[in-house]
Structures are given as C-alpha cells and as structure tokens.
A and B are shown apart, each in its own frame.
Chain A
Amino acid sequence: MMLVLFGASIILFVCLFIVPGDPIATSQGEGRQLDPSTRAALERRYNLDKPLPQQYVGYLGRLAQGDLGESYVYRRSVNTILKEKLGNTFRLALAAIILEIVLGIVAGIIAAVFRYSFLDVLVTLSTTFAIGVPTLVIGLALQNIFAINLGWLPLQGQSAGAKSIILPALTLAGVETALVSRLMRGTMSEVMRADFIRTAYAKGLSKRVVILKHALRNSVIPVLTFLGISFGGLLGGALITETVFNWNGIGLALVGAIQSQDNPIVLGVVTYGVAVFVLVNLVVDVAYAFLDPRIRLE
C-alpha cells in the first residue's frame, strides 16, 4: 500500500513540475511582472531553486512528518487551509453516505422482497435511469427545480445551515445510491432463494424475522464493502458537486488551485485523497475478510 502511495506521489510530483508555466509568476496574479529580487526570495522560500530530485526528497521528508507545505498564493500552510475545508467535505460525504445507506439499501430490500411487483419495477427502472444521469446533470437539475423554480432550498454555499446540505448531498449520493440499491437487490434476491432461507421458513419463522435477521445479514456484506470504498472516495472530495454548489470543501480548493497553479495545494489535496482512499480500501478489505466466513477459511 505504501508503494501505491509512493508511486502516486511521484507521478503527481513530476507531472506538476513538468507542467508548463511558472507557479511563482502565477501567484502574482496582477498583470505585472515580478521583479527579480522578489522572485528569488519566493523561489528560495519554496525550494524551487533546487534541482527537481532534491525538491522531491525534501517534499517526501516533509510529507513523512505530515507537512504538506505552504500555498504559493496564500502563503499559509496547506495543512491549515485543508483542515478548514475538510470539515465541509466530511459533512457532505457523511450526508451522502447516509443517503446511500438509507435510500439505497431500503430500496434494494423492497425490490428484492417484492420481486417482479410494481414496486420492484419502479425501483429497478428508476435506479437504472439514475445511473445514466451524470452527477453534473443531477446537480444542475436539482438546483433548477428546488432552488430556482420552487425556491425551497438555497442555490449554493453553506450559509443556510442544514438546508444547504440537502441538494449537494442528494447530488453526490445520486448515482451511487442507485448502484447500492441494485447491488442490494441483486445479492438479496440471490440469498432469498438459498436453501437456508427456505429452511428458516419451514421452521415457521415469520417473514419479517427471516428477511431482517437471516437474509439481510448475509446479503449486506458486498453492499457494505461497496459503501466503504465509496466513502473513501467521497472523503477525498467531490469535485463536480462542490463546484456546482460552491461547497467550500477540498474538492473546490483543488479546482481553484489548479487554476492558479498553486501546486502545494494540488499536491496536498490529491495526496490526501489517494491516501484516504487507499486507507479505506485497506480497512474494507480487512473488514470484509472478517465478515465473510468463506474468506476466513482460506
């Protein structure tokens, strides 16, 4: 896993410094050229006057201590900047995952239990449809309907308290909720036809107990795995959703940093995102091995 992180960081680092353009001049942002002395001072400050390999080593060294460097534009520690925005990203990720769990799993269960009924068809069709609609379009559509036409919810930003998070969370969760529900339906249908379920019915257990206790427990594992991975990805920041809704999380910081060539922030966000994703994957793998008796036996 460390290898992955290492590999990813090298690629990123090299890419950013191959990029044509001059991040120092960029931070000037005004139209005037930077005088040589100021330029020299800034290059010295950000180690840009050293050869690339040496810069990378320095970067790794600081990274090992958890220091993501200093933003070229704001001259503040990247750690501090990201920390301020992490809360927003986390809240959004949490809201999205809750939606995925609640809506997705419930819809999936309903569809599986009432297979081939109207409800099932409804769920299946709508989830299939939902998968096809890009997050971008979902976001724009929701904005248009609820914020502009109906005026029930704020258009963007976080200032309206709890109301602000609804549309972004729905948008972010949208596609994955549909996937979760389909997955749930799939695994649960399979499980429901298994022998041990029939045995449970034969034993006289009520339908409710059978579903909730036996079927659910066995079919939820792959879904939880999926959710875990999804959460890892969400924690990394939701680029499109945050852009559409002006949600001040690390995804938005990344987009802005790319525009202004603020490489430390780009590096910081992506490194963090990859690290979190890899970490969560690891946790999920372990948990999965733990939960699935078949794996444990290997």
Chain B
Amino acid sequence: MTEQTVPQAPAVGEVTLESGAGGFGGAESQAAAVGGITRQTQFGNIRRRFLRNKLALLGLVMITIVFLTAIFAPIIATHPPKAQDLTITLQSPSSEHWLGTDELGRDVFSRIVYGTRIAVSVGLASIFLALVIGVILGSISGYVGKVWDTLIMRIADVFFAFPLIIGAVVIILVVGRGVTPVILAIGLFSWATVARLLRSSILSIRESEYVEAARSLGASKWRIVTRHVLPNSMAPVLVYAMVSVATAIVAQASLSYLGVGVPPDVPDWGNMIAAGQKFFGFKDYLWFFPSMAVVFTVLGFVFVGDGMRDALDPRLR
C-alpha cells in the first residue's frame, strides 16, 4: 500500500538524522557557528553549487516550462479542452490535432496543456497545506517539546501509518469527489513527514553551539526561533517539499486513475490515463502522452529537489 509515491528522499535523510550521523543538522550548525555573516556567504555557496549542478538546472527549466504552460494554457492550447466532436473520435495524431483525439473527439494536446493547471494547483496546494500544518506542529513539537511533543508525534504516527493513497481514498469517500477533496486528502497525509522532519532538524539545531551562543548573548526565545532555529532547520523540509510536489502530482493522477479523483470531464492527466487504458494496444497515444506529461513534471521537481539537497549537503558529493 505504500507503493506508487515518489518515496520521500528524506527517508534517507531521516535515517541519517535519527542516527545522528550528521547530515543536515551537523553541517549546518558547524557552518553557521560563526553567526550571521557566514550564513550569507553560505547561502551564496549553496546557490552556486546548485546552479553548477546540470541536472538541477535542467529540473528548473522543466518546472518553469510546466508553470508557464499552466499560466498560458489558453494561448498554447490549440482547441478548447472540453469541446467534443463525435465525428472525429479516436483519431491518431495529425497536423490538425497534434496528439490526436480521444473517444469524444476532444483534442488530446489541449487537454494535456490544461491538465498542467490541475496538476500544478493540486500539487502546490496540497503540499502547501501539508507544509502549513507540518511546520506549525513540527515547530511546536520540536521546540516546545515535552507533552506537546509526545501528543503531536503520536497523532503524526497515526497519519503516518496510513499510506497516502489509502488515506486519500478514504477522505474522498467521505467528502466526495472534486479538486478540493483531493488537495485536502493529499495534504492531510503528507503533513506528518514534514512535522517529523522539522522536529528532528530543530532538535539537533536547538542544542548546537551557535544557538547557545545567541542565547548567552541575551537573544529572546522568539528571536532565536525565528532568526536562527527555523531558517536553518527548514532546509530538509524544503527539499522534502520539492519532492513532495512530485509525489502529490503522482498521487493525484493515481487517484484519478482509480476513479476517485477529479470529475471525468475535467482535463486531468490521471483521468486521461484511465480512459486511455481502455484502448491499450491500439490507441496507445491516449495514455502515453498524459503519462509523459506526468513524468516530465515529476522529474523536473525531482531534479530540483535533488539539486537542492546536494547543494545543501556537500558531504554527499
């Protein structure tokens, strides 16, 4: 039940963190020990390292393409995505219809173009939701600790134990189909990892030398949290978020494939793959192109996420 996600790269990071073998917390705190000035230069270092990474750059380009397509969909698409024409159903790609037509005579290319909107909005919104919940709860858990920590972590465990797809299906069963339930569902089953990650990160930073230094210098708790602890511990969370968008997009497509995603006339890659699967073997373009769209988008986010992680932790290179 756990398959089909883009399993969190932080599964790696998490293990390393837990075992205290270093990873983000270690490198970060050491590098930041000297304080604010070093942090700025360090950011520059990170950025430079990222941009030098060819794959990461490629990923950035890919994501940009997807975003632009989503924004400028009406201009890029050649036909209205919902326009049916029952006289030209199931036609192979042609000059008139670049990627062919589906079983209702709708233009596949245009539907894929508009599909970016759903993918991007669902992907971003659901992860945003997960981030909001996860960061808030994770910070409380990590910084305030004690009872809150235990409580929040137990709740997180419950959500964690539900594989994403199963949990999402259950939510959708209750709330109904549509874009919002999908966002809600994916967000609800992703926040747990964010919280856990952030908590681990905070825990290791909290005790680091420079925080102690700041505290001894008389900085208020609030200032410590917002200026020192949070920014430094967000790194793994951001990497996870990047990859999570990819996971969310895949999850959303999979939910549509299983029949519990967005309504069927909405141009969505998952719906298109599900519908196209019926024509397996003789009209393969129907499921192939939407699949490629998913892969393209996901890879973009994965490359960027990888690049971010590599840039942030030089020890892995």
Interface residues of A (CB under 8 A from B): 3-5, 7-8, 11-12, 15-16, 18-20, 128-129, 131-137, 140-141, 143-144, 148, 172, 175-176, 179, 182-183, 186, 189-190, 222, 225-226, 229-230, 232-234, 236-241, 243, 251, 254-255, 258-259, 270, 273-274, 277-278, 292, 294-295
Choose one: A3, A229, A239; the contact of B165 (CB below 8 Å): A239
- A183–B14 CA distance with the chains assembled, in angstroms: 12
A134→B253 contact, CB < 8 A: yes
Choose one: B3, B15, B298, B306; the contact of A238 (CB below 8 Å): B3
Choose one: B20, B257, B260, B316; the contact of A136 (CB below 8 Å): B257
- A132–B306 CA distance with the chains assembled, in angstroms: 11
B218 CB-CB contact with A under 8 Å: no
Choose one: A7, A131, A148, A233; the contact of B2 (CB below 8 Å): A233
Choose one: A15, A132, A137, A143; the contact of B170 (CB below 8 Å): A15
Residues of B within 8 A of A11 (CB): 158, 170
Contact of A179 with B163 at beta-carbon distance under 8 Å, contacts A134-B254, A137-B291, A141-B291 already known: no
B1→A273 contact, CB < 8 A: yes
In angstroms, how far is the closest chain A Cβ from the Cβ of B11?
6
A175-B3, A239-B165, A258-B169 known; 4 new pairs, CB 8 Å cut-off, are A3-B154, A3-B157, A128-B302, A186-B316
Interface residues of B (CB under 8 A from A): 1-7, 9, 11-12, 15-16, 19-21, 55, 154-155, 157-158, 161-163, 165-166, 169-171, 173-174, 176, 246, 250, 253-254, 257-260, 273, 277, 280-281, 284, 287, 291, 294-295, 298-299, 302-303, 306, 315-316
A136→B254 contact, CB < 8 A: yes
Residues of A within 8 A of B176 (CB): 20
B2→A234 contact, CB < 8 A: yes
- A296–B296 CA distance with the chains assembled, in angstroms: 44
Residues of A within 8 A of B170 (CB): 11-12, 15-16, 270
Contact of A131 with B158 at beta-carbon distance under 8 Å, contacts A148-B280, A225-B15, A292-B19 already known: no
Closest B-chain residue to A171, C-beta based? B3
Choose one: A129, A241, A254, A258; the contact of B299 (CB below 8 Å): A129
- A116–B174 CA distance with the chains assembled, in angstroms: 51
Contact of A230 with B2 at beta-carbon distance under 8 Å, contacts A129-B299, A134-B254, A179-B11 already known: yes
A236→B2 contact, CB < 8 A: yes
In angstroms, how far is the closest chain A Cβ from the Cβ of B115?
14
Choose one: A18, A176, A294; the contact of B3 (CB below 8 Å): A176
A-B pairs with the 5 shortest C-beta distances? Answer: A233-B2, A132-B299, A236-B1, A135-B4, A7-B158
A274→B162 contact, CB < 8 A: yes
In angstroms, how far is the closest chain A Cβ from the Cβ of B290?
9
Choose one: A8, A133, A230; the contact of B298 (CB below 8 Å): A133
B273→A140 contact, CB < 8 A: yes
Closest B-chain residue to A149, C-beta based? B281
A132→B302 contact, CB < 8 A: yes
In angstroms, how far is the closest chain A Cβ from the Cβ of B210?
24
Residues of A within 8 A of B166 (CB): 239, 254, 270, 273
In angstroms, how far is the closest chain B Cβ from the Cβ of A58?
21
Residues of A within 8 A of B284 (CB): 144
Closest B-chain residue to A21, C-beta based? B173
B174→A15 contact, CB < 8 A: yes
In angstroms, how far is the closest chain A Cβ from the Cβ of B227?
31
Contact of A19 with B7 at beta-carbon distance under 8 Å, contacts A128-B303, A132-B302, A294-B20 already known: no
A176→B7 contact, CB < 8 A: yes
- A64–B259 CA distance with the chains assembled, in angstroms: 33
Choose one: A8, A143, A229; the contact of B162 (CB below 8 Å): A8
- A91–B287 CA distance with the chains assembled, in angstroms: 29
Choose one: B3, B21, B171; the contact of A234 (CB below 8 Å): B3
Closest B-chain residue to A93, C-beta based? B3
- A277–B155 CA distance with the chains assembled, in angstroms: 16
- A192–B88 CA distance with the chains assembled, in angstroms: 61
In angstroms, how far is the closest chain B Cβ from the Cβ of A223?
9
- A229–B3 CA distance with the chains assembled, in angstroms: 12
Can you list 6 A-B pairs with a CB-CB distance of less than 8 A?
Answer: A7-B157, A8-B158, A134-B6, A140-B287, A176-B7, A233-B3
Residues of A within 8 A of B2 (CB): 230, 232-234, 236, 277
Closest A-chain residue to B15, C-beta based? A222
Contact of A144 with B281 at beta-carbon distance under 8 Å, contacts A4-B154, A18-B174, A134-B298 already known: yes
